Amino acid sequence: MRTVGVDIGGTKIAAGFLDETGRPVLLGTAPTSPYDGEANVRTIERLIDDPRVVGAEVLAVSVATTFENDGALRDPRGWFGWKGQVLADVLTKPERQALVFADAAAGAVGECTHGAGAGYDHLLYVTVGTGVSHSFVVNGEPLHGARNAAYFSGYTPQARCDRRQCDFPHVEGICSGPGLARAFFGPEARDARPVIAAATAGDPRAVDVVDHAAWHLGALIATMVSMYDPSGVVIGGGLGTGASDYRQQAVEVARSLITTEHGKGVPVVPASLGEMSCWVGAIEMAAMQHAGPPTHADATLAATIA
C-alpha cells in the first residue's frame, strides 16, 4: 500500500512520504489559503504530483481542526474553507482513498513512531504554533474523546498569574504564535518570529511578552503532567520546535509548578521530526486503520474515527 501524507496547518500545507527504510521525505510546502477550500485542494494536489508518490492508493491527511461524530470538519472560523464538510470525501478519488486525522493526534503518533516519543508508553504531546493543543497517547493509540475533541488544551482558561490585567479568554490567546504577535504588534498581527527575535536581542517589551507566554505555557504543561501522568512529554509545532528559548522557559516554569516528585522527573523534549510530525503520524494512523479497497463509506468512517 503506497501512502502519501499531507499536513494542513493554519499557515502552510506540507506533504511527504516514508521511503523504503521508513525515513520521512518531504515533498514540499506551500501557504494555506484562508477561507478557500478549493484553492487548498489544488495546493494539495500540486504538492503530491511527484513521481516518487505517483499512484499512491492512500492520502493520509492531518488537519488543524477537529470533527463532528459524522466526520464533518468543525473549523469554527471557516479558516480552511471546508467547515461542515467531510474532508475525506472531498479528497477521495476513485483510485485513491483519503483518511483524515486531527493534527494533534497525528503529530503525537508521528513522534511515537519515528521521533522523540519513541519508547514512551504514555506520551503527552503538546503542539505550539498557530494554535496550542495536545494529544495523550497510550501504547501508540491517541485518546480521541467522546466527541473527537480531546485535544483542546489551548482553549482552557489561563492559570492565575501576577499580572493585574490578564483577562484572555484562553491559554492559546497568550501562548500561540498569533497570541505573541498580537501582544507585541497589535490585534491584526499573526507572525511571532519578529517577537522571538526581538526578545533574543534583548528588547524589554518583547522579553516581557515572551516571559508572560512562557509562564502560561509552563503552567498548562504542569497541569497536564499532573492530570495524565505521562512517561514523557514531547513539545512540537512551529514555536515548540523553532523557538528553543521560549520552549525552555516554559519547561522550567512547568518544573517549578509540578508538585509531585515523579512528575518533576518526567522527560520533556522537543519533537525531533520538527514540522514533519503531523504528516508522518497521519501516514502511520492510516496504516493502522486502512482495510480493504477505497470506498466512500471507509473514507467517511476514517474521518469520523479521527
pLDDT tens string 247-298: 999 999 999 999 999 999 999 999 999 889 999 999 999 999 864 443 333 3
Q: What is the pLDDT of residues 107-149, one digit of tens each?
A: 999 999 999 999 999 999 999 998 999 999 999 999 999 999 9
Average pLDDT over residues 191-207: 96
Q: Which is more confidently placed, 228 or 238? A: 228
SS3 category, 5:
strand
In this structure, are residues 220 and 153 in contact, taking their beta carbons and an 8 Å threshold?
A: yes
User: Residue 290 has what pLDDT?
Assistant: 66
CB atoms within 10 A of CB 26: 16
Work out the pLDDT band at 167, boundaries 50, 70, 90: confident
- CATH for 3-106+276-305, options being 1.10.275.10, 3.40.50.10800, 3.30.420.40, 3.40.50.150: 3.30.420.40
> 119-272 maps to which CATH number?
3.30.420.40
Q: What was the pLDDT predicted at 300?
A: 37
- Does the pLDDT of residue 97 top 90, yes or no? yes
Question: Under DSSP, is residue 282 helix (H, G, I), strand (E, B) or coil?
Answer: helix
Per-position DSSP letters for 111-150, written without gaps between them:
HHHHSTTTT-SEEEEEEESSSEEEEEEETTEE--TTTT-T
221: enclosing H helix or E strand: helix 204-228
Residues of the chain with pLDDT > 90: what percent?
A: 86
- Report pLDDT for 73: 96
Q: Sketch the domain layout of the chain as residue ranges.
A: 3-106+276-305, 119-272
| 3-106+276-305 and 119-272 have identical folds | yes
Q: Is 21 in a helix, a strand, or coil?
A: coil
